[in-house]
Amino acid sequence: MSTTQFDVIVIGGGPGGYVAAIRAAQLKLKVAVVEAAALGGICLNWGCIPTKALLRASEINHLLHNLGEFGFAADNVRFDFDKVVKRSRAVSAQLSAGVAHLLKKHKVTVISGFGKLAGTAGANRKVSVSVEGRETTVLTAPNVIVATGARARVLPGLEPDGKLVWSYREAMVPKAMPRSLLVIGSGAIGVEFASFYRNMGAEVTIVEVAERILPVEDAEISGFARKALEKQGMKILTGATLGKVTKAENSVTIDITAGGKTAPVTVERVISAVGIVGNVENIGLEGTSIKVDRTHITVDPYCRTGEKGVFAIGDIAAPPWLAHKASHEGVMVAELIAGRQVHPISPMNIPGCTYCRPQVASVGLTEEKAKAVGYRIRVGRFPFIGNGKAIAMGEPEGMVKTIFDDATGELLGAHMVGAEVTEMIQGYVIARTGELTDGELKETVFPHPTISETMHEAVLAAYDGALHI
């Protein structure tokens, strides 16, 4: 075994860890990243990126089957499902290699293995690296960033079995296209998989224990999205609970209770998408002052744990559990370690995006939460059907909703559903980060013709000034 000294050791090479390492290296710190699997983490290899490749394929499939609106016709439209899956894996492989290149470019030492905290050595923290249970290296540094991420939560009786019951991993690399599918959970992961498989032709049922799908989103947007998905042929059961599970050779039957009635639902495959569990096991937290709350490490606004010199970022720490939040935390912590002045990240300024069809995006407070906090609010709404670009694109299904503080003009929240809204939400994020008010947003000139004009109209609508409806 060898002992190597660094300024910063990052445990985990996902979107939080590798970005933290790059930024620390840019600030002239000596950095090591310890990663047990592929660089890029779950996001790049089994989450954000490959799912978007799959969703893109499903959007193309949907478009090819609806060409008549645009004056085209195509006969015998078909797809090679194996190639669809292989392309998504190739995209991930390309980007993982890109991360390796970036780390090499910035002279970050990458060590393959499982990293864990292993006590102290004077003013330094020790990190033990093991491969297949055998310790291979001990690293030391005054600062350690824990970025070990999270994994899918498993429901008892519905453990992924590689055939009938899938987690997100199995759902991304199926051996064949299922004819019917039950998705348990209607957060971003569940709804995105439901959208992919429905657009590819599967019969899809979504089951959600909450009273509505996408429960963290504004209720009005959630309701709009539900109607759109049901219009596509999905069956959605909310306020639902699961009962007896019966597995056959090539199907699963689950008793589902919803609306006071219990009925069996039989499908070929089940996707369980009921949240995440932080990877806190076996990373050396025992005997430290680091606290864990419901499988996630407790941190302060600067991502500092209760142990001096140890930080935690990304999905292992506080919500929201999003890749872009993890990356920004990585930058903040790297700059803090380097002695720079930093500002905590405001969770209310972190956008959330769901890449189903239609897309959903939001930032800030929902209408319900704004009222609960005590704000007197002004709400603006504008539908895509009033936007020329949306109609020209054949995408008139959508709306934008803005919520302002009536007293100050502060933009409290913005919520969107429709084509390309995940690309547009950053406009409202900039507005909140820059503390722009209704007056400045009203005076902002939006290009025409663009779908982004709906954002301007939704601001105007909050003050009874919408022009195209």
Q: What is the pLDDT of residue 43?
A: 94
For 282, phi and psi rounded to 5 degrees? Answer: 60, 30
E-state strands within 259-357? 261-267, 269-272, 276-278, 292-293, 296-297, 310-312, 352-354
Q: What is the pLDDT of residue 3?
A: 62
**List of residues 6+ apart from 335 with CB closer than 8 A:** 23, 27, 342
Question: Are residues 395 and 419 in contact, defined by beta-carbon separation less than 8 angstroms?
Answer: yes
208 known member of a binding site: yes
- Note the pLDDT tens digit of each residue in 372-409: 999 999 999 999 999 999 999 999 999 999 999 999 99
Q: What is the pLDDT of residue 141?
A: 98
- Please provide the average confidence, as pLDDT, over all residues in the chain: 97
388 known member of a binding site: no
306 known member of a binding site: no
* Percentage of the residues of the chain whose pLDDT score is greater than 90: 98
Q: Determine whether 468 is an active site residue.
A: no
Angular region, 162: left φ>0, alpha ψ -120 to 50, beta rest: left
> 1 pLDDT exceeds 70?
no
157 known member of a binding site: no
Angle between helices 81-105 and 17-26 (to 10 degrees): 30
Taking the CA atoms of residue 38, residue 40, residue 44 and residue 47 in that order, the dihedral angle to the nearest 10 degrees is 80
What number is the average pLDDT over the span 83-110?
Answer: 97
Tell me the sheet residues that pair with 138. 3, 128
* pTM, 2 dp: 0.96
- CATH architecture for residues 165-274: 3-Layer(bba) Sandwich (3.50)
Q: What is the pLDDT of residue 326?
A: 98
Q: What is the pLDDT of residue 32?
A: 98
Question: Are residues 336 and 302 in contact, defined by beta-carbon separation less than 8 angstroms?
Answer: yes
Q: Which of 469, 396, 404, 416 is nearest to 442 (CA)?
A: 404
- Cα–Cα distance measured from residue 36 to residue 13, given in angstroms and rounded to the nearest whole number: 8
Work out the burial of residue 73: count CB atoms within 10 Å of its CB; fewer than 13 is exposed, 13-18 middle, 19 or more buried. Answer: exposed
Angular region, 113: left φ>0, alpha ψ -120 to 50, beta rest: left
Q: What is the pLDDT of residue 442?
A: 97
82 known member of a binding site: no
452 known member of a binding site: no
275 known member of a binding site: yes
Identify the CATH class of 3-152+277-347.
alpha beta
154 known member of a binding site: no
| 3-152+277-347 and 358-462 in the same fold | no
Catalytically annotated residue among 65, 448, 456, 468: 448
Q: What is the pLDDT of residue 2?
A: 58
**List of residues 6+ apart from 441 with CB closer than 8 A:** 411, 431, 456, 459
What number is the average pLDDT over the span 245-269?
Answer: 97
What number is the average pLDDT over the span 145-169?
Answer: 95
Give me the residue spans of the domains in the chain.
3-152+277-347, 165-274, 358-462
How many residues would you count in the chain? 469
CATH of 358-462, one of 3.40.50.720, 3.30.390.30, 3.90.650.10, 3.90.79.10: 3.30.390.30
Q: What is the pLDDT of residue 5?
A: 96
DSSP state of 386: G
122 known member of a binding site: no
Assigned token pair, 213 = 């799908």
* Res. 435 pLDDT band, cuts 50 70 90: very high
- Cα–Cα distance measured from residue 217 to residue 376, given in angstroms and rounded to the nearest whole number: 20
186 known member of a binding site: yes
192 known member of a binding site: yes
Q: What is the pLDDT of residue 346?
A: 94
| Residue written as token pair 């019917």 | 180
